Chain A
């Protein structure tokens, strides 16, 4: 993006406090880790201010300053944290250099509108900082899990070998355990059986319900809607207790009177329970898409002689498909992530992945859980990417610009 505003160098009275603040922030973390947060702030602030003065008055060459900054902070990092410290130090060295010049040269103004007051500029960057911080807090717990899953030990611990980046400290044994251990394989297979079938049921019933409820002539549709959405609102543990007794009766009847196999009945119970949990998500997303659906299209189709079923599949369905797909994704994730209901309704032969992870965490604290979590995160990212790409492709084909 081109610059919107001409930039000029800023006075030291603005630059020094800014870069000292940045240094103090890092100093706070390093200092707390080493015993004294306050001392860390003071040293960090002083160090970065001195670096700034040195670059501005002595060096005057930005490229040299960059390398000096990277090497200097990487060296400091080595003193505190060994090899990983060097990597972090190098990153922060680059960041400090960038920040010093960014403030000093006034580059922060370049991409903002010229008429903004200093207060608005400050708020703009504070806002970005808060957004970044929220993002970090959301994503860190997921990222922490990934390196731990390569631990060579059977504990949730960053061992000294791992922190030294010593290959000895890392191993794929937890991944091997996941792929060779019967319990994990069985639960993985169960999840892959239960979640898709439950999703198909939720999507079919949920879409039908949403279309029915969007007709203005249906009596009591608000009440029906409230009842259908209730599984989402009622605390899960309560639905689960109710489902346990309800499906026990149904299961006994299926086994005793109709003579079905016990394991098969077990799957039916869990699939139905998960389908009930998934339906509200489908109803909500499809209802939302139907708001933008032009009713005259169905009347036009009827006018041309199409019966309601043909109209649905040929006219209405393609237009509300994005809502149906995202509802289906939610239903799939609900079933795939669900642990409470399956603990109540299922028996051990329907043990799903979350159940196995749950008991694993409570009983054995095995890093295999982390390996599985990493695999699941990768699969989820892949799944979402594929769906998003398909959606954009279909929009492009239909001549709309992707949003």
Chain B
């Protein structure tokens, strides 16, 4: 009996892999975002090449995992979606492949080379920009009365908007918003934040609402908290709020004031075999051309990174509403934006993270 079972197990184990076709593992953030990539990039690519794409929603710990994989000499990921600052770190540590953007990416339809089409958004040699997103606020329309918040400083106004608010559990953005609302001019924020007194000042401002803050780590938490009515307002990525508002009809409004722009894009981890690297490059060529980037905007409200894609952004795939007014880059939304300084944060992140965590624990 047991011998038979074992034999059966061994046979199934040996036969199973034969049925699996050529596949590649693409790492991303999960949720509505991965779904938009699935529909705009993965499915057309599989239809074209027959390569199965496996999604791994591990981008949140991409840097640590790529380090460990590299150390163990066992890189299982083919293409990884990371934020710009992570791409810079990975590139500096030699954990991501350096790319010649003009050679490996498609030119714009009018022949403009990729490096010009992406322009300044290529912040690292390893990084292929994909979208511009922003971290911004949503609020419960039924919990703010007749005067919905219009300024980011309303977050700090507990008298006008009592109740909990959710903020991301990290110093980035929160410190800038705190200093801005404490009266620092927008252009001086990073100068002030660079001094120990500036850090104290930012934390002191955050102290005024600390008891009313729910700290989040995953982008999906704020929409859930807003849907439950557990928080009055909260920060998250603008695409998550769009999907809660437009696709799931939640009573949530957008507060675009001082939204914080950031970039997200692809890297190829270092240490792949030549065959896998070529396959990854082939995927990138396909997934970052002008039409494909514009297609993604049909499913989620993030701005495509190519200049040539912007005019092609159309309507939402199933709701049929115009997507342009929901983009963070739309002039109506981008009246007062906060340009997040990668380089400043790359230099100061460890120090501020430590101070912020110490403050949280107090």
Q: Which residues of A contact B (CB under 8 A)?
A: 153-157, 183, 186, 193, 196-197, 200, 204, 244-245, 248-249, 251-252, 261, 263-264, 266-268, 271, 347-349, 351, 359-360, 362-366
Contacts and interface: CB of A to CB of B under 8 A. Distances in A.
A264 B13 CA distance: 8
Contacts of B341: none
A255 to B, nearest CB: 9
Contacts of B57: 359, 363
Interface stretch (B69-77, B99-107, B148-156, B313-321): B69-77
Contacts of B77: 347-348
Nearest to B56: A348
A348 B223 contact: no
A281 to B, nearest CB: 18
Contacts of B227: 153, 155, 157
Contact of A245 (B25, B27, B29, B72): B72
9 contacts: A154-B248, A196-B9, A261-B20, A351-B56, A360-B30, A362-B218, A363-B31, A364-B30, A364-B220
A183 B224 contact: no
A295 B115 CA distance: 80
A360 B20 CA distance: 24
A363 B25 contact: no
A252 B54 contact: no
Contacts of A196: 9
B228 A364 contact: no
Contacts of A349: 20, 23, 25, 54
A264 B11 CA distance: 12
A347 B76 contact: yes
B145 interface: no
A193 B16 contact: yes
Given A271-B13, A359-B30, A364-B31, 17 more contacts: A154-B248, A155-B224, A193-B16, A197-B13, A200-B5, A248-B73, A252-B73, A261-B17, A263-B23, A348-B27, A348-B58, A349-B20, A349-B23, A351-B56, A359-B58, A363-B218, A365-B220
Contacts of A271: 13
Interface in B282-312: none
Contact of B74 (A155, A193, A251, A363): A251
Given A155-B228, A348-B25, A364-B220, A200 B20 contact: no
A248 B72 contact: yes
B6 interface: yes
B13 A267 contact: yes
Interface of B: 2, 5-6, 9, 12-14, 16-17, 20, 23, 25, 27, 29-32, 34, 54-58, 60, 68, 71-74, 76-77, 217-221, 223-224, 227-228, 248, 250
A197 B12 CA distance: 9
Tell me the interface secondary structure of chain A in the complex: helix
A363 B220 contact: yes
B13 A364 contact: no
A32 B14 CA distance: 60
A363 B76 contact: no
B249 to A, nearest CB: 9
A244 B17 contact: no
Contacts of A197: 9, 12-13
A267 B5 CA distance: 18
Contacts, number: 100
A261 B76 CA distance: 13
Nearest to A246: B72
Contacts of B29: 363
Contacts of B248: 153-155
Contacts of A363: 29-31, 34, 57, 60, 218-220
5 interchain residue pairs of minimum CB distance: A363-B30, A347-B76, A348-B56, A364-B31, A248-B72
A364 B13 CA distance: 32
A50 to B, nearest CB: 37
B7 to A, nearest CB: 11
B9 A264 contact: no
A365 B219 CA distance: 10
Contacts of B217: 362
Contacts of B34: 363
A363 B220 CA distance: 6
A363 B30 CA distance: 6
A365 B240 CA distance: 12
A156 B248 CA distance: 13
A56 to B, nearest CB: 45
A67 to B, nearest CB: 39
A132 to B, nearest CB: 30
Contacts of B76: 266, 347-348
B72 A244 contact: yes
A365 B25 CA distance: 22
Contacts of A251: 74
A204 B220 contact: no
A263 B228 contact: no
A241 to B, nearest CB: 9
Contact of B224 (A200, A261, A365): A365
A360 B68 CA distance: 23
Nearest to A349: B54
Nearest to B247: A154
B109 to A, nearest CB: 32
B16 A264 contact: yes
Contact of A362 (B2, B13, B17, B60): B60
Contacts of B20: 261, 263, 349
A183 B29 CA distance: 14
A183 B55 contact: yes
Contact of B223 (A155, A183, A266, A360): A155
Contacts of A186: 54
Contact of A268 (B13, B30, B224): B13
Contacts of A156: 224, 228
B9 A200 contact: yes
A204 B1 CA distance: 12
B25 A267 contact: no
B13 A200 contact: no
B362 to A, nearest CB: 26
A358 to B, nearest CB: 10
B54 to A, nearest CB: 5
A83 to B, nearest CB: 21
A267 B32 contact: no
B32 A364 contact: yes
Contact of A263 (B17, B60, B74): B17
A240 to B, nearest CB: 11
Contact of B54 (A200, A248, A348, A364): A348
Given A153-B227, A200-B9, A365-B224, A252 B218 contact: no
B25 A264 contact: no
B66 to A, nearest CB: 13
A372 B308 CA distance: 43
A278 to B, nearest CB: 14
